[in-house]
Chains A and B, each alone.
Chain A
Amino acid sequence: MLNNFQEFYNIIPILLIGAGFLISLLIEMYFKKSDVILPWFTILIFLAAGFHALYAVNSVSVIFQNMLATGGIVNIFYIIFTFGAAIVALLSIDYIKKYGTYFGEYYILLQTSILGMMLMAGAKDLFMIFLGLELMSVSFYSLAGLNRKRLKANEASLKYFLLGAFATGFIVYGIALIYGTVHSTSIDMIASRFYELSSDKLFIAGILLFLIGFSFKIAAFPFHMWVPDVYEGSPTTIAGLFSTGGKAAAFSAIIVTLGVLFTGRIGNILMPYLAVISVLSMFYGSIVAISQDNIKRMLAYSSISHAGYLLIGLAAGNSFGVAGVIFYLASYTFMNLGAFGIVALIEGKDESNLTLKSFSGLASRYPLLAALFSIIMFSLAGIPPFAGFFGKYYVFIAAIKSNLTWLAILGVLSSVISVYFYLRIVVLMYFKDAETDLKIDVSKTGLAAVIISVLLVIIIGIAPGTIIDLIAFFFK
């Protein structure tokens, strides 16, 4: 258990969400006005945990008998998860009523999924990785199918569950093989014996299976089949969470478990695998996104291609690349949540207004929404001075430093392709006449959430140097 006050202090973000989740359950059961209290309580919990993680970012320690790490990059991941989830909760207040029946469980499951992500990011043992992953995934499966009257939501939930469980099977098999060769599930033990075992075929098979399982979770190319259908069928805000929090959590698990590969002390033996699926996902996502008419499907394919860019950072295999990946995840989280937020604002009842048509001529009627959406699209396309540009820049630079210039060039090529479908929406909004009679009541909380995420995108874009220095400082 916890030995002293300092350890207790370091673990406060997890304790806050763990206790807040139980209190939310009580609120949902006993308060009549739970639909008013619960969202704000959830946001409060997330913000408290996030700000604590930000404040205690320096207190690096390992607690619970070498089970959980705190401080450093773990806290940076906590910040990404909690602030992202707070934005999702703020977006959901009005959206979830528009979407269908209100369930308090929406916010409760949101909290459990974030708790699972935090356990994954802080894990020091493969048990914690697995439990965190399951906690996150179980909440995600239920969140995807929350509205049981919609066939598409049911389909999304079932598809996500079946493929997610399949992926978890890979991960568990990988963990079993790793345990069989290392004789321990401790990540420190794996790291210290990695070099000596890197010629052991079973160990490498275990690591590869582990990576394949997580490739499902990050939505990389050959394992992406679930992504478009799940994003299309689940509530838009939740699809935003899948594409940001879920992806960030899976990357955190890879970075935490295989961190020793990316410090440059031993060669990155997994580079071929990471580079190949990275190139495949970048191009597949960018090219297929062009032909999409449904905006949620388009964002799903864009999420696949972003998984490719993120994998470049891991393939580079130096500490600079990992810092770039974490920076990219932070900026991607806020810009993608902004994108899904605007889609959630514009979406009408019964999944209307989701085609690209409904965005044409938006600038003349809702100039603020159009301006915000343009900023997000510029950022997603990687156009300076927004956060998305610097994310790609750091990742590509890391690849060049590791003599993977061809990978960086392919990454730039793929971003050029992706500019087409991102900027097509901007063109539609500003230079086309309205094709549909779009009438929406813009929800104030939702708009606030989108504005906050756009502001964060701009702030990260203004001061990328300090943030990347902070991350690189902790990843040493």
Chain B
Amino acid sequence: MSLQLILFILFGTISAISSVLMITRTNALISALFLILNFAGLSGLYLTLNAQFIAVTQVIVYAGAIMVLFLFVIMLLKPEHEKYFSHQPKLKIFAFFIAFIVFIQLVFMIFVSHPSQGNNANVAASVKAGTIEEIGKQLYTNYVLPFEAAGYLLLAATIGAIVLAKKKFE
């Protein structure tokens, strides 16, 4: 077994188990903590796919910043009605239905359609594409307009957050 396969099995198991634990907890805070574990496992999976920068971003942004926001929002909402949802059979059926569709689609994608055939053909190129140097090169030459647009998006989000959430707004 190659190192890649061992790591894939390890991280895949971590993220699969943690995501199951996440959706079965009744306490939203504990769910959020399992979500962090899930993000960590995903970041490991990105690493096995040679996407180092994405892996680092996953840890810094998702497991770091976004989870802070998640936890604050959970405490802000005071989820005392969380049990209400677990007693809703209709919601559960709907959720199973959606999950089933996504599952079928993934199975179809992996075993029938092979969408990654074209991408896998060139492993060296895919290794290069994951490096921070290549991302920097693409982002500041070919994708410079999306990059600036992302700046504007973040500014709009700042303004929106202050307008909506600042207590004493003048």
Instruction: Please indicate the chain A residues that have their CB under 8 angstroms from the CB of B116 in the complex.
Output: 180
Interface pair A109/B146, CB less than 8 Å apart: no
Complex partner residue of B145 from A64, A112, A202, CB under 8 angstroms: A64
The verdict on A119 contacting B149 (CB below 8 Å), with A105-B159, A202-B108 known, is: yes
Instruction: Please indicate the chain B residues that have their CB under 8 angstroms from the CB of A180 in the complex.
Output: 109, 115-116
Interface pair A142/B145, CB less than 8 Å apart: no
9-residue interface stretch from B55-63, B79-87, B136-144: B136-144
Instruction: Please indicate the chain B residues that have their CB under 8 angstroms from the CB of A157 in the complex.
Output: 164
**Residues of chain B from 123 to 170 with CB closer than 8 A to chain A in the complex:** 141-146, 149-150, 152-153, 155-157, 159-160, 162-164, 169
Instruction: Please indicate the chain B residues that have their CB under 8 angstroms from the CB of A135 in the complex.
Output: 149, 152-153, 156
B118 lies within 8 A of chain A by Cβ = yes
The verdict on A67 contacting B156 (CB below 8 Å), with A146-B163, A201-B108, A202-B113 known, is: no
B119 lies within 8 A of chain A by Cβ = yes
Interface pair A138/B153, CB less than 8 Å apart: yes
Bound: A148/B153 CA distance, A: 22
The verdict on A138 contacting B157 (CB below 8 Å), with A146-B163, A181-B115 known, is: yes
Interface pair B164/A148, CB less than 8 Å apart: yes
B105 lies within 8 A of chain A by Cβ = yes
Complex partner residue of A18 from B108, B141, B152, CB under 8 angstroms: B152
Bound: A23/B3 CA distance, A: 54
Complex partner residue of A142 from B149, B159, B169, CB under 8 angstroms: B159
Interface pair B163/A128, CB less than 8 Å apart: no
Interface pair B153/A131, CB less than 8 Å apart: yes
Instruction: Please indicate the chain A residues that have their CB under 8 angstroms from the CB of B152 in the complex.
Output: 18, 21, 112, 115, 135
B45 CB to nearest chain A CB (Å)? 16
Chain A interface residue count, Cβ-Cβ cutoff 8 angstroms: 37
Bound: A37/B105 CA distance, A: 54
A195 lies within 8 A of chain B by Cβ = no
**Residues of chain A from 263 to 295 with CB closer than 8 A to chain B in the complex:** none
Interface pair A131/B144, CB less than 8 Å apart: no
| Chain B residue at smallest Cβ distance from A146 | B163
| Chain B residue at smallest Cβ distance from A132 | B149
Chain B interface residue count, Cβ-Cβ cutoff 8 angstroms: 27
Interface pair B119/A141, CB less than 8 Å apart: no
Interface pair A183/B118, CB less than 8 Å apart: yes
A125 lies within 8 A of chain B by Cβ = yes
The verdict on A128 contacting B157 (CB below 8 Å), with A142-B163, A145-B164 known, is: no
Complex partner residue of A67 from B119, B146, B160, CB under 8 angstroms: B146
Complex partner residue of A131 from B119, B149, B162, B163, CB under 8 angstroms: B149
Instruction: Please indicate the chain A residues that have their CB under 8 angstroms from the CB of B115 in the complex.
Output: 180-181, 202
Interface centre among B108, B150, B159, B162 (most CB of A within 10 A): B159
Bound: A70/B105 CA distance, A: 37
Bound: A181/B115 CA distance, A: 6
Bound: A205/B115 CA distance, A: 13
Per-position contact with B for A1-39: 1 when CB-CB < 8 Å, else 0? 100000000000000001001000100000000000000
Bound: A315/B164 CA distance, A: 40
A257 CB to nearest chain B CB (Å)? 16
Bound: A83/B150 CA distance, A: 25
**Residues of chain A from 130 to 159 with CB closer than 8 A to chain B in the complex:** 131-132, 134-135, 138-139, 141-142, 145-146, 148, 157
Bound: A139/B149 CA distance, A: 14
Interface centre among B118, B143, B144, B156 (most CB of A within 10 A): B156
Complex partner residue of A65 from B141, B159, B163, CB under 8 angstroms: B141
Interface pair B108/A131, CB less than 8 Å apart: no
**Residues of chain B from 74 to 93 with CB closer than 8 A to chain A in the complex:** none
A68 lies within 8 A of chain B by Cβ = yes
A93 CB to nearest chain B CB (Å)? 19
Instruction: Please indicate the chain B residues that have their CB under 8 angstroms from the CB of A67 in the complex.
Output: 142-143, 145-146
The verdict on A131 contacting B118 (CB below 8 Å), with A105-B159, A138-B160, A145-B164 known, is: no
Interface pair B143/A201, CB less than 8 Å apart: no
Per-position contact with B for A97-118: 1 when CB-CB < 8 Å, else 0? 0000001010011001001000
Instruction: Please indicate the chain A residues that have their CB under 8 angstroms from the CB of B149 in the complex.
Output: 119, 128, 131-132, 135
Bound: A83/B18 CA distance, A: 51
A127 lies within 8 A of chain B by Cβ = yes
Bound: A414/B153 CA distance, A: 39
Instruction: Please indicate the chain B residues that have their CB under 8 angstroms from the CB of A25 in the complex.
Output: 159
A469 lies within 8 A of chain B by Cβ = no
Instruction: Please indicate the chain A residues that have their CB under 8 angstroms from the CB of B169 in the complex.
Output: 103, 148
| Chain B residue at smallest Cβ distance from A145 | B164
Instruction: Please indicate the chain A residues that have their CB under 8 angstroms from the CB of B113 in the complex.
Output: 181, 200-202
Per-position contact with A for B21-34: 1 when CB-CB < 8 Å, else 0? 00000000000000
| Chain B residue at smallest Cβ distance from A157 | B164
Bound: A296/B7 CA distance, A: 57
A30 CB to nearest chain B CB (Å)? 14
| Chain A residue at smallest Cβ distance from B156 | A112
Interface centre among B143, B152, B162 (most CB of A within 10 A): B152
For the complex of A and B, list the 3 residue pairs with the smallest distance between their C-beta atoms, beginning with the closest: A142-B160, A180-B115, A64-B145
Other A-B pairs, 8, CB within 8 Å; known A67-B143, A127-B146, A180-B116:
A103-B163, A105-B162, A112-B152, A131-B153, A134-B153, A142-B159, A183-B118, A183-B119
10 contacts between A and B (CB under 8 A): A25-B159, A64-B144, A65-B143, A65-B144, A109-B160, A115-B152, A132-B149, A138-B160, A148-B164, A181-B115
- Chain B residues in the interface with A (C-beta under 8 A): 105, 108-109, 113, 115-116, 118-119, 141-146, 149-150, 152-153, 155-157, 159-160, 162-164, 169
